[in-house]
A = this chain, B = another copy of it.
Amino acid sequence: MKGSSILITGAGGFTGRHACTYFSEMGMRVYAAVRHADTPVASGEGVVCDMLHKEQIYMMVRQLQPDYVLHLAGRNSVPESWQEPVTYLETNMMSTFYLLDALREVPKCRTLVVGSKLKFDITVSTEPPHPYSLSKTMQQIAVSTWVHLFGQCMMLAEPCNLIGPGPSTGICALIARKMVQVERNVMTDPFRLSSLEERRDFLDVRDAVKAYGVILERGQGGHTYPIESGILRSLGEVFQTFQHHAKKTIPVEVVNPSAGQHVPLDPGHAAMMHEFGWEANIPFDQSIQDIIHYFRNP
């Protein structure tokens, strides 16, 4: 991939920033697409494009003719999706259709669309748990049908909970923010932890970005690749890891100690990534320390 070009959408976001850094360091020409001209870009050339504006997407793709596309742009807040369901469909699904259509003019381009494990299984029911889930399911259908209709090389990645330094909105970032407030003696409510028992797969965003690179290089068009660490950790364990590194006791209120869905791991799917020689490398504790460092030194 060295020497070739990659267009990264959502480049100003949590994953986007790490992706720009990673692919730049790999020796690729990085086009970092952001919505607003004043969004800082971690690395590469900033490109302003509002993914809701079809014409801007077509013009960007036509101009850049990228060898690779990593489509990270989108919205990912479940509560917000209840308020603005159509915005979620436009941002997560329609912008993907616009991008796929624009890429018909760059037939050799290899594209990876980053989906979500919060999609629902349309082959089983028509009952999404929330509009965000609907929008990501529709995005997945967009990619898999487009590959069939127009024969382009497009893949899907479905990452688990990505953690690491940067402006994430995930639970680890929320705990780290609270911890730093407590350390600075800011008056604050206890951290509300939904459950101690709920178990999730956490993966460092830098490991995920490497996985995206591997899929872009070697993935098969139409396939969906789950990106997992393979280790489930309870929210109680996650909280304790932060507490272990904290200078003060983080006040916590556990809403429902024993509740929690357990997202099952899929070892068969994980094997697909191991065949590519990819595996998670950054230890969980290292990720947590890096998150803490990020929030202690903003």
Contacts and interface: CB of A to CB of B under 8 A. Distances in A.
- Interface size range of chain A in the complex: 20 to 34
A291 interface: no
A85 B90 CA distance: 16
Chain A binding surface, main DSSP class: helix
B149 A128 contact: yes
A128 B148 contact: yes
B144 A126 contact: yes
A130 B101 contact: no
Contacts of A98: 86
Given A130-B149, A141-B138, A145-B128, A97 B89 contact: yes
A89 B85 CA distance: 17
B54 A86 contact: yes
A97 B86 CA distance: 7
A38 interface: no
Interface string A197-233: 0000000000000000000000000100000000000
A34 interface: no
A122 interface: yes
Given A130-B149, A138-B141, A148-B128, A101 B123 contact: no
A275 interface: no
A43 to B, nearest CB: 32
A244 to B, nearest CB: 41
